[in-house]
């Protein structure tokens, strides 16, 4: 199981290490927007939307990596006072009963909406914006799939911890 979990981890490790560069690009683009607006009096809607697109991509595509490195939000009521096996039980239950089913539901409910957007190549959010909001909506299934992959990897790892005899 740990071998499969490691292979699944590799997907989100690569994705997280790739999309983290969007944070730098976002800061640089926002800086350029501010300089252009306040120094030169020039403004472009598509540049502001570019920051929005990068921000969405960073968080939606980086969610699986955040789970991989265990930096997600956790409610410590059930978790902090437990030993390794107790934590593995809480994590496994959370993944199997909450994370995986909710992601499948989000994927199922959003798929027609996303499919329709892609099929008509839905255009800009604002006049003068990036004519590709279908790409933004396409992040929804990507988010679900990447988080599902990582949720399954975490579940496999926790089940392996629970199987260990100590």
Q: What is the pLDDT along the chain (166 residues), one digit of tens a residue?
A: 778 888 899 999 999 999 999 999 999 999 999 999 999 999 999 999 999 999 999 999 999 999 999 888 777 776 778 888 988 898 899 999 999 999 999 999 999 999 999 999 999 988 999 999 999 999 999 999 999 999 999 999 999 989 885 4
CA distances from 159 to 51, 156, 163 (A): 40, 5, 6
Q: Can you give the pTM of this predicted structure?
A: 0.87
Alpha helix (H) residue ranges in 20-132: 21-40, 45-68, 84-94, 100-119
Q: How far apart are CA 104 and CA 2, in angstroms?
A: 23
CA distances from 25 to 56, 123, 142 (A): 13, 23, 21
How many domains are contained in the chain? 1
Q: 61 is in which domain, residue-wise?
A: 2-163
Say if residues 61 and 139 touch (Cβ distance below 8 Å): yes
Q: How far apart are CA 103 and CA 79, in angstroms?
A: 22
């Amino acid at each position: 199981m740990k071998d499969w979990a490691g292979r699944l981890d590799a997907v989100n490790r690569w994705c997280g290490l790739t999309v983290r560069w969007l944070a730098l690009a976002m800061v640089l683009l926002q800086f350029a927007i501010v300089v252009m607006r306040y120094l030169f009096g020039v403004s472009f809607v598509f540049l502001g939307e570019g920051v929005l697109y990068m921000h969405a991509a960073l968080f939606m595509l980086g969610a699986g990596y955040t789970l991989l490195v265990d930096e997600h939000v956790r409610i410590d009521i059930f978790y902090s006072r437990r030993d390794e096996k107790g934590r593995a039980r809480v994590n496994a239950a959370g993944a199997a009963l909450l994370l995986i089913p909710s992601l499948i539901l989000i994927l199922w409910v959003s798929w027609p909406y996303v499919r329709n957007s892609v099929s008509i190549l839905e255009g800009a959010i604002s006049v003068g914006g990036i004519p590709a909001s279908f790409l933004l909506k396409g992040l929804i299934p990507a988010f679900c799939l990447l988080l599902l992959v990582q949720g399954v990897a975490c579940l496999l790892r926790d089940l392996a911890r629970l199987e260990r005899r100590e």
